[in-house]
Structure 1
Amino acid sequence: MDPEGLALLLPPATLASLADSWLREDCPGFNYAAWATGAAPAQAALWAKSPGVLAGRPFFDAIFAQVNCQVSWLLPEGAELVPVAKVAEVRGPAHGLLLGERPALNALARCSGVASQAARAVAAARGAGWAGQVAGTRKTTPGFRLAEKYGLLVGGAASHHYDLGGLVMVKDNHVVAAGGVGKAVRRAQQVANFTLKVEVECSSLQEALEAAEAGADLVLLDNFRPEELHPTARALKARFPRVGVEASGGVTLSNLPQFCGPHVDVISLGMLTQAAPALDFSLKLFAEGTTPVPHARRS
């Protein structure tokens, strides 16, 4: 998948709305610092100060478009970053450039952090010789879900379902509320049409078989140790080969290869979004006609 083309997935109106909300969050009232900077033309260089995968260019662009600034990128989406790399230049009125600075850096840092974490997870899976899908979850930061789900894709992982309308996800609490696995699946199928799959979270082989028997499309084997996961997945596939098997819970970058196996189709990790460290970027103004230099890291 070409990371450059992934921007086509992001509707311009949605990007503009997100950018507007982030800018309003940072400056809901007077922008007092704008009086100090004025509206004279200015330019700034964007520097990457930590290694990782560049992701989030469309969000960065959308924020600066809101404040009448233009971004010129020097590196493509999905590029491997090394400190200290010049990534882009931004030009526009000084007050607008500085108004967009923090929201734009926040979005880029968060999105790039998720992409970097996803790329490491995919590399671990492929290094184990496994061809299944590494996926994220809905464990995302409020207000940043689109950016984080997009970061997963740039990093080579699957985004999983975007929201509750993208998959009928029957979890353990749904099973308890419905009165059992079979009842939960059958009730879900009453409203799920041909465009929606039904996935059921299961804690045992018995539950997995019951879910498959009731018509589940996917079975999530949750919090299984690797030595339990693989025989359970094998037994389930032996009886229901069409059913997809997802493994989740307790998976980390270090132990991910242990969850890879021929009967597991998807491995999902909440930590790809929930625990991904943000990458470090800085945006520094420079005078026209001078060569921009990276700002020294504070001790």
Structure 2
Amino acid sequence: MGIEAVTANESFNFEHLLAPNWRSAVQRWLDEDLPSMDIGGFVVGDKMETAALYGKSSGVLAGAPFFTEVMRLVGCEVEWAAKDGDRIDASSGKVVIARVKGSCRHLLIGERTALNILSRCSGVATAADDAARRGREVGWHGMVAGTRKTTPGFRLVEKYGLVVGGAATHRNDLSQMVMLKDNHIMSAGSITKAVALAKRAAGFSIKVEVEAGTYEAAHEAATAGADVVMLDNFEPAALKKAAARLKKEFPNVLIEASGGITADTMTQFMSPDVDVISRGSLTQGYACLDFSLKVLPAEP
């Protein structure tokens, strides 16, 4: 039972990923839950208390900056016993993750918002860590990625959790890499035309990816100059065969596998010719970690 640093993350300060305006989002999340009249606060008053933040399920901790910011906004201080990227082992019981000090009414105002963020961010990081570990165990050279299937208004936290857990964010938003899907191709008239138009606008600095449901579509995309080709909803054997053929002819094109891939089936899609496996489930339908915040008894 306890907290173990994930070796790959020991030297990272993940808070440096966050642009200066990230705190405004935390203020909005807190504002959403603030009472018009704080009856609970009236009950407990301004008595100074210390509360313990407990990790009650095993997984990877992520979201500490967001938790700290919620508590700062309500006038409380957090002292962490762990950092983002650490692995929590709660198999033998709850683990103390941090201590929070402040007036009781302020602790309770910030409690649920802070816990909601931490439990969800840690859930994403844990799922990402599990996916990355499965790849390492079979010696796969590629990278697991999330997708844009994120919660509206909460994307920053979920993308942050992916990085903490060791996965790639894929596109953070529509300005990061061009993804040409079936609707783009249908409207443009062909894969070749869609890629040409995208390359003209993107220039040299933005990659262009094409979603392909058949080998023929993937080959057309690579021939047209796509930087990344997504083999979408292929069966494992067909995907490996298509990836090998594409890599042989277009060795510099990145091959991504996606569509219906789960934690249990993911290793079936791994091969030396597959560079990326993306899973929407990493940020959609992930299991949250369980945390609680409990006021400690006064010292005698």
TM-score normalised by the chain length of structure 2: 0.93
Aligned to 1:255: 265
From 237, 241, 245, the counterpart of 2:247: 237
Matched, 1:184 2:194: yes
Equivalent-residue separation in structure 1 for 2:119 and 2:236 (angstroms): 33
Aligned to 1:273: 283
Matched, 1:5 2:13: yes
Equivalent-residue separation in structure 2 for 1:184 and 1:146 (angstroms): 30
Equivalent-residue separation in structure 1 for 2:98 and 2:176 (angstroms): 35
Equivalent-residue separation in structure 1 for 2:69 and 2:220 (angstroms): 48
| Structure 1 range deviating more: 184-193 or 195-204 | 184-193
Write out aligned runs for 1:94-133 (5 A): 94-133=104-143
Equivalent-residue separation in structure 2 for 1:79 and 1:30 (angstroms): 38
From 72, 83, 102, the counterpart of 2:79: 72
Matched, 1:214 2:224: yes
Q: How big is each residue's C-alpha offset from its partner over 1:189-231, in whole Å with a ceiling of 9 and x where there is no partner? A: 2221322100000011111111111111000100011110011
Q: How big is each residue's C-alpha offset from its partner over 1:127-182, in whole Å with a ceiling of 9 and x where there is no partner? A: 11101001111111122111111111111111111000111111111111111111
Aligned to 2:144: 134
Matched, 1:21 2:31: no
Matched, 1:81 2:91: no
Aligned amino acid, residue 113 of structure 2: P
Provide closer, same or farther for how the CA distance between residues 34 and 59 of structure 1 changes in structure 2, counting only shifts above 3 A: same
Structure 1: unaligned runs, 5 residues or longer = 291-299
Aligned to 2:4: none
Structure 2: unaligned runs, 5 residues or longer = 1-7
Aligned amino acid, residue 246 of structure 2: L
Count of residues in Structure 1 that have an aligned counterpart in Structure 2: 289
Aligned to 1:46: 53
Aligned to 1:30: 37
Task: Name the SS for the 1:274 alignment partner.
Answer: coil
Aligned to 2:233: 223
Q: Root-mean-square deviation (CA), in Å?
A: 1.3
Aligned amino acid, residue 131 of structure 2: A
Displacement of 1:28 in angstroms is 6.0
Provide closer, same or farther for how the CA distance between residues 187 and 170 of structure 1 changes in structure 2, counting only shifts above 3 A: same
Displacement of 1:89 in angstroms is 0.3
Equivalent-residue separation in structure 2 for 1:107 and 1:247 (angstroms): 30
Q: How big is each residue's C-alpha offset from its partner over 1:236-281, in whole Å with a ceiling of 9 and x where there is no partner? A: 1121111110000111111111110011000011111112100010
The list of structure 1 runs, each at least 4 consecutive aligned residues, that deviate by more than 2 angstroms after superposition, is 1-4, 28-32
| Structure 1 range deviating more: 33-42 or 169-178 | 33-42
Aligned to 2:160: 150
Equivalent-residue separation in structure 2 for 1:113 and 1:208 (angstroms): 34
Aligned amino acid, residue 207 of structure 2: K
